[in-house]
């Protein structure tokens, strides 16, 4: 079982023996931690795995598998939503959940800024004293997921690797967009929440043009989501609006460009979540994403 300390800025901590007077750590049933010492990246990552209710009792069944970025936050959230909304398989199809953890020894921000961004950032600052800022390794991280995480999951769990879903928010959504435009068939479905398309002067939009110039299809199902307050409205003076980045406009532009090519095997939907901003939208976005990607059968 997985034992951890909750919190976006806190890494998951596997329970260690404690003195009798210490309170017990929190444990989640049907969860495991697998550590990968990546030969390609030279770093260690914890991969969190959540198994659906009844997994052990149905040894012949294979499950779709959902990979989520930013596991510190997303894994316990998605697992809780899956239990509540899933309603024992009546609200959602049961699935195996895989949380992509941060690199050991890195702060969450340092790890995600490096691993989820497609290019470097000359103006970046480091939140780790003594370590230079590092961005732009999304492609190396994508290959790590494909060549090291996928085989581990396929070898140890009863998953249907032809039904893989990737979900990411913010920089995680930027990474998902990078995967979509680099190797779209790596996943069958993408839940892309509030992607940071503004990054590096909208580099993803340039990548979209490059992809379109050399491809006549983009075979994937894509759900794009964003909060209604993730735009600019200087007249309203409402603190829920973004101050400098119109992420709603960027997402609409990304959607329109993808649609314009009329790729025969691209299915795309966009949802604007009313009343939510960048920091509050993900719980609703991932709930809708689960309902879209894994409807009950």
Residue that has been written with the tokens 């997985």 in this structure: 2
Predicted confidence band of residue 5 (pLDDT cuts 50, 70, 90): very low
pLDDT tens-digit map of 138-165 = 999 999 999 999 999 999 999 999 999 9
Q: Which domains does the chain have, with CATH numbers?
A: 28-293 (3.40.50.1820)
Residue 12 has what pLDDT? 44
Per-residue pLDDT, averaged over 271-292, amounts to: 97
CA pair distance 17, 5, nearest whole angstrom: 15
Residue 194 C-beta-side C-alpha neighbours within 13 Å:
24
Strands 63-68 and 96-103: parallel
Flag whether pLDDT at 245 surpasses 60.
Answer: yes
- Among the listed ranges 45-59, 225-239, 245-259, 271-285, which one has the minimum average pLDDT value? 225-239
Tell me if 56 sits within 8 A of 63, measured CB to CB: no
3-class secondary structure, 254:
helix
Quote the mean pLDDT of the chain. 91
Q: Which residue has the tokens 């406009």?
A: 249
Alpha helices in the chain (DSSP H): 71-86, 108-115, 138-144, 150-156, 171-182, 199-214, 247-260, 282-293
**Confidence at 4, pLDDT banded by 50, 70, 90:** very low
Give the Cα separation of 46 and 57 in Å (integer): 27
Give, in degrees to the nearest 5, the angle at Cα 175 between 170 and 176: 95
């Amino acid at each position: 079982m997985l034992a951890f300390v909750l919190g976006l800025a806190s890494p998951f901590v596997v329970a260690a023996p404690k003195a009798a007077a210490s309170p017990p750590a929190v444990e989640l049933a049907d969860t495991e931690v697998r550590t990968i010492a990546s030969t390609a990246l030279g770093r260690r990552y914890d991969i969190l795995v959540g198994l659906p209710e009844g997994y052990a009792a149905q040894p012949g069944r294979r499950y779709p598998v959902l990979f989520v970025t930013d596991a510190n936050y997303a894994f316990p959230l998605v697992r809780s939503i899956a239990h509540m909304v899933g309603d024992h398989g009546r609200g959602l199809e049961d699935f195996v959940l895989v949380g992509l953890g941060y690199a050991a020894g890195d702060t969450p921000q340092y790890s995600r800024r490096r691993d989820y961004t497609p290019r470097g950032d000359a103006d970046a600052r480091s939140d780790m004293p003594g370590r230079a800022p590092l961005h732009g390794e999304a492609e190396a991280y994508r290959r790590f997921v494909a060549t090291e995480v996928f085989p581990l999951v396929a070898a140890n769990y009863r998953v249907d690797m032809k039904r893989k879903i990737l979900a990411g928010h913010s920089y995680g959504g930027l990474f998902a967009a990078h995967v979509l435009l680099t190797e779209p068939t790596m996943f069958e479905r993408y839940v892309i929440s509030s992607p940071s398309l503004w990054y590096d002067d909208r580099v993803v939009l340039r990548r979209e043009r490059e992809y379109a110039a050399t491809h006549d299809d983009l075979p994937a199902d894509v759900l794009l989501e964003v909060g209604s307050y993730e735009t600019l409205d200087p007249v309203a003076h409402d603190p829920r609006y973004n101050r400098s980045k119109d992420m709603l406009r960027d997402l609409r532009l990304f959607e329109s460009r993808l649609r314009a090519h009329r790729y025969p095997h691209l299915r795309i939907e966009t949802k604007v979540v009313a009343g939510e901003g960048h920091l509050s939208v993900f719980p609703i976005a991932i709930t809708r994403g689960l309902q879209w990607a894994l409807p009950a059968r």
